[in-house]
Chain A
Amino acid sequence: MKTKIFMIAQLLCVLTFATVLSSCEKDSRPEPKSVLKGRVVYDGQPVNVRSNGVQLEIWQRGYQLFTKIPVYVNQDGTFSASLFDGNYKLVRLPGNGPWLDNKDTIEVELRGTKELDVPVQPYFVFQNDTYSKGEGKVSATFNLKQLNTSRNLERVNLYIGKTTIVDPNNNDGNAQEVAANITDLTKPISLTVTLPAALAGRDYIYARIGVKTSGVGEMLFGAPQKVMLK
């Protein structure tokens, strides 16, 4: 009797297990295999932004629930999303990135992998940026070009840090110049940041310049630059 109960229990266990496994196979959908990759560009060059700050929206019509798929832009201006094949609409979310609002939709037909450049119109861009080290200091010199005059300059910053992720929220030191002190944009601007004690003994650091447009939440950046200290 006892063995019989035991065997029934065993059988039940096996049955349950089998059911669980088989249902897994039946219910699950395949993961999305197509990839939409791209860059946010101005003038053919990627636009650098704060990591984890700026997003694009992807929408797909024709289904019952209309939900956006947020796609975060990496700090070097690239983005990527795994999606199912289909027709999508890509939107530059207003008030989000360091560029002019452009509510035009970009149609995306995704079959397999696709690369896409998303053009934007920044307010300012950097030109001729050079970085150099001094005695316990790191400097950057660059030109600031204003592309759109509908908004004013607020400030420029030089951020330094231990990794390539350098921005207002991730840095070990920064220097700032506010717009009031930058009268002539045709002349190069220099920023110098003193190395904090914690970084002084390192072989190298990363430096990155950023520009803040008045009334726009996010800053636009140059590419992070490795500066050898020794």
Chain B
Amino acid sequence: MPKFSKYILVLAILILSGCAEEWLDRKPQNIILEEQVWNDSKMITGLLANYYDRLPAHTSLTTGWAEFAAYDEAMWSNNDDGRNNIVSYPFDRWRYWDYGLIRDINLAIENIGTYSTSLSEVQKTQFSAEFRFLRAFVYFELVKRMGGVPLVTQQLIYDYNGDPSYLQLPRSKEEAVYDFIASELDAIKEQLGNGGSNTRANKFTAMALKSRAMLYAGSIAKYNSLLPSPISTPGGEVGIPASRASDYYAKSLAASEEIINSGAYQLYKTNPDLGENFYDAITKKSANPEVILAQDFLVSKDKRHGFTYDNIARNVREDNLSSSSITPSLNLVEDFEYLDGTSGELKTRNAGNTDYIYYDNVQGVFANKDARLYGTVIYPGTSFRGIPVQIQAGVKVWNQATSSFQNVESNTLGSTYEDGGLLTGSSGPQRSQTEVTNSGFYLRKYVDQTAMSSTRGIRSDMWWIRFRLGEIYLNAGEAAFELGQTANALKYVNLVRERAGFGANSLKTLTLDRLKNERRVELAFEDHRVWDLIRWRTAHEVWNGNASNPDAVIYALYPYRVVRPGHATHGKYVFDKLVAPRFRAPRFFQMGNYYSSIEQIVIDNNPKIVRNPFH
């Protein structure tokens, strides 16, 4: 036996030694080498897809979407009341410090230079440009949340000498980061290629990012300096001098006009029904000339999300749980103007405020409103996927003895009153029940119309728009207005309003408040609201935490059917405006919220990082 095993050992040595060289030189089958990645355009594209997917947003269809209900566009009507009861926003709420992604991008740019041998020069330049676009995007997200951040544009490599201080970069000035973004985008815009793509960056995508970033820089320069005590740090890490405002506005306007004048994009105007058209402009993925950059999803590739499952209106839901999470506020609904240009405040009481206004149908109060309201919000009397969304809080029964109305509401959705008519709608609203609207409205924008997309089994592949032409027009309008080019500003803003059903040249004069309102209604639920209020430095006034401030409180609209047999108002509809019953704490934005706090571990690792003000 021992003899036999000795033979085996000898044999094994012979066999192994014979092929040892090849055996050890084999290419690994489970590791992709740098040389392989950077010489294969398909693999680089795959890597790019990963980085595009990691681009941050505060609220998108997949990231932090529930926070749409944490400001003044909407409230939370699903289970748990966290977002209706935010006593104050924590200082780390918008914190973002993803230097992991910055490093990955820096590494990619350097590795293309080092390892790419079989790619053509054109391909190499184009890929590098695309990585640099992504890096500029990430730096914009960093600077708008944290103020000036360390500008790291190449790998930081530790040499094990025991002293890491040469790797500890201080924060750059806030304006320096914005300047970096602008110069990067200008440098790469002609190299990007990807013409016609709305999921990968091209020349116009770069200009769209520049348009937005420069507008932010301009308004911080202007409005921060107008504060009684401007938010700043001695080293300029936070705060931009007022003198730079017009420079930034001019850069923003130039970038916007480059997109507009190119004619490469048009406002979506395919559907003659203007309300449906606005919904289509956001949600139609094919032949959409308006979208500049989107994060796309696809059911057949199993890249999908549950946004529709969580937010579809109650009585049209297809699954047996969830629905109705983000429900728009009356505050937002009333900011959509009437088409004759009057204020959008809903007319529910007569001129002397002595009685209700009685409407023949439940949608009567919304007649002649900005068409974007329909495209954004499901309001009483409208439908989704062809099914009417029944919204009625209850009935108002006339009490002869007291000469007043008595409210009757039911806890059963879709119940009937004793006269055989509808009592409470199958989609609410209800005062305390969850998974049914508490504000009297449902979200339409970004909720998928495709059949079965609100089930957990299928889910939705609705895309998330990062840039579209509608925003670029409004950016151009605001920048032009701030630069004193009012005629130009009017031209751009009126184009956007025309699509919403207002006549040509509906605005004759312009104020900043009009522009602000235009952004609020056009860009609702597109991750703009918080950032706009922050850059205008008005967030602490709009959301001042005071229960008597109507902007800080979320309001609801409850429709009732009138039961008063024998009277002219019998069977008509009236509306009560009220503070949303499940809403608890007024929105409260503190001065320390304008810049997010930097995590302690970052300061521990790099003592050169200075803290943001108030933290």
A binding-site residues for B, Cβ under 8 Å: 52-53, 65-67, 93-96, 151, 168-169, 171, 173-174, 214-217
Stretch at the interface among B98-106, B122-130, B538-546, B563-571: B538-546
Residues B591 and A217 in contact, CB atoms below 8 Å apart: yes
Contact of B235 with A by CB under 8 A: no
Q: What are 28 A-B pairs with beta-carbon distances under 8 A?
A: A52-B88, A66-B603, A67-B600, A93-B614, A95-B229, A95-B591, A95-B613, A95-B614, A96-B614, A151-B228, A168-B544, A168-B545, A168-B546, A169-B88, A169-B545, A169-B547, A169-B586, A169-B588, A171-B547, A173-B548, A174-B546, A214-B228, A215-B229, A216-B228, A216-B229, A217-B590, A217-B591, A217-B592
Bound form: Cα–Cα A52–B91 in Å: 13
Residue of A whose beta carbon sits closest to that of B232:
A95
Bound form: Cα–Cα A169–B548 in Å: 9
Residue from B227, B590, B591, B607 with most neighbouring chain A CB atoms (10 Å): B591
Residue of A whose beta carbon sits closest to that of B590:
A217
Bound form: Cα–Cα A215–B232 in Å: 13
Measured between beta carbons, the chain A residues less than 8 angstroms from B603 are: 66
Measured between beta carbons, the chain A residues less than 8 angstroms from B546 are: 168-169, 174
Measured between beta carbons, the chain B residues less than 8 angstroms from A215 are: 227-229
Contact of B604 with A by CB under 8 A: yes
Bound form: Cα–Cα A198–B87 in Å: 22
Bound form: Cα–Cα A171–B588 in Å: 14
Bound form: Cα–Cα A93–B600 in Å: 17
Residue of A whose beta carbon sits closest to that of B231:
A95
Measured between beta carbons, the chain A residues less than 8 angstroms from B590 are: 53, 217
Residues A65 and B87 in contact, CB atoms below 8 Å apart: no
Residue from B544, B546, B585, B604 with most neighbouring chain A CB atoms (10 Å): B546
Measured between beta carbons, the chain A residues less than 8 angstroms from B228 are: 151, 214-216
Residue of A whose beta carbon sits closest to that of B601:
A65
Measured between beta carbons, the chain A residues less than 8 angstroms from B585 are: 169
Kindly supply a per-residue 1/0 record for chain B positions 572-615, scoring 1 wherever the CB is within 8 Å of any chain A CB and 0 otherwise.
00000000000001101011100000001001100100000110
Interface residues of B in 82-109 (CB under 8 A from A): 87-88
Residue of B whose beta carbon sits closest to that of A173:
B548
Bound form: Cα–Cα A173–B546 in Å: 10
Measured between beta carbons, the chain B residues less than 8 angstroms from A66 are: 603-604, 607
CB of B482 to closest CB in A, whole Å: 23
Chain B at the A interface: SS class:
loop
3 A-B pairs closest in CB distance: A215-B228, A215-B229, A217-B591
CB of B239 to closest CB in A, whole Å: 12
Residue of B whose beta carbon sits closest to that of A167:
B545
Residue of B whose beta carbon sits closest to that of A94:
B613
B binding-site residues for A, Cβ under 8 Å: 87-88, 227-229, 540, 544-548, 585-586, 588, 590-592, 600, 603-604, 607, 613-614
Measured between beta carbons, the chain A residues less than 8 angstroms from B547 are: 169, 171
Residue of A whose beta carbon sits closest to that of B546:
A168
Residues A65 and B229 in contact, CB atoms below 8 Å apart: no
Bound form: Cα–Cα A104–B128 in Å: 50
CB of B382 to closest CB in A, whole Å: 36
CB of B584 to closest CB in A, whole Å: 12
Residue of B whose beta carbon sits closest to that of A157:
B546
Measured between beta carbons, the chain B residues less than 8 angstroms from A173 are: 548
Residue of B whose beta carbon sits closest to that of A67:
B600
Residue of A whose beta carbon sits closest to that of B588:
A169
CB of A66 to closest CB in B, whole Å: 7
CB of A215 to closest CB in B, whole Å: 3
Bound form: Cα–Cα A67–B605 in Å: 12
Bound form: Cα–Cα A94–B588 in Å: 21
Bound form: Cα–Cα A138–B613 in Å: 38
Measured between beta carbons, the chain A residues less than 8 angstroms from B588 are: 169
CB < 8 Å: which of B88, B592, B604, B614 contacts A65?
B604
Bound form: Cα–Cα A174–B586 in Å: 15
Bound form: Cα–Cα A171–B586 in Å: 11
Residues A169 and B87 in contact, CB atoms below 8 Å apart: yes
Residues B227 and A217 in contact, CB atoms below 8 Å apart: no
Measured between beta carbons, the chain A residues less than 8 angstroms from B548 are: 173-174
Bound form: Cα–Cα A217–B590 in Å: 8
Bound form: Cα–Cα A217–B588 in Å: 12
Residue of A whose beta carbon sits closest to that of B591:
A217
Residue of A whose beta carbon sits closest to that of B614:
A95
Measured between beta carbons, the chain B residues less than 8 angstroms from A214 are: 228
Measured between beta carbons, the chain A residues less than 8 angstroms from B613 are: 94-95
Measured between beta carbons, the chain B residues less than 8 angstroms from A151 are: 228-229
CB of B90 to closest CB in A, whole Å: 12
Residue of B whose beta carbon sits closest to that of A50:
B545
Given A93-B614, A169-B585, A174-B546, 8 additional A-B pairs, CB 8 A? A65-B604, A66-B604, A66-B607, A95-B591, A95-B614, A215-B229, A217-B590, A217-B592
Bound form: Cα–Cα A169–B544 in Å: 8
Measured between beta carbons, the chain A residues less than 8 angstroms from B87 are: 52, 169
Bound form: Cα–Cα A215–B228 in Å: 4
CB of A105 to closest CB in B, whole Å: 16
Bound form: Cα–Cα A216–B614 in Å: 12
Bound form: Cα–Cα A95–B591 in Å: 9
Measured between beta carbons, the chain A residues less than 8 angstroms from B229 are: 95, 151, 215-216
Measured between beta carbons, the chain B residues less than 8 angstroms from A217 are: 540, 590-592, 614
CB of A221 to closest CB in B, whole Å: 15
Bound form: Cα–Cα A65–B591 in Å: 27
CB of A73 to closest CB in B, whole Å: 14
CB of A59 to closest CB in B, whole Å: 12
CB of B242 to closest CB in A, whole Å: 16
Bound form: Cα–Cα A95–B228 in Å: 12
CB of A71 to closest CB in B, whole Å: 14
Residue of A whose beta carbon sits closest to that of B229:
A215
Bound form: Cα–Cα A67–B229 in Å: 27
Bound form: Cα–Cα A147–B521 in Å: 45
Residue of A whose beta carbon sits closest to that of B228:
A215
Measured between beta carbons, the chain B residues less than 8 angstroms from A93 are: 614
Measured between beta carbons, the chain A residues less than 8 angstroms from B592 are: 217
Bound form: Cα–Cα A96–B588 in Å: 16
Measured between beta carbons, the chain B residues less than 8 angstroms from A52 are: 87-88
Residue of B whose beta carbon sits closest to that of A64:
B604
CB of B595 to closest CB in A, whole Å: 12
Bound form: Cα–Cα A96–B87 in Å: 18
Bound form: Cα–Cα A42–B567 in Å: 68
Bound form: Cα–Cα A161–B280 in Å: 49
Measured between beta carbons, the chain B residues less than 8 angstroms from A96 are: 614
Bound form: Cα–Cα A171–B544 in Å: 13
CB of B538 to closest CB in A, whole Å: 14
Residue of A whose beta carbon sits closest to that of B611:
A68
Residue of A whose beta carbon sits closest to that of B549:
A168
Bound form: Cα–Cα A95–B600 in Å: 20
Bound form: Cα–Cα A93–B614 in Å: 7
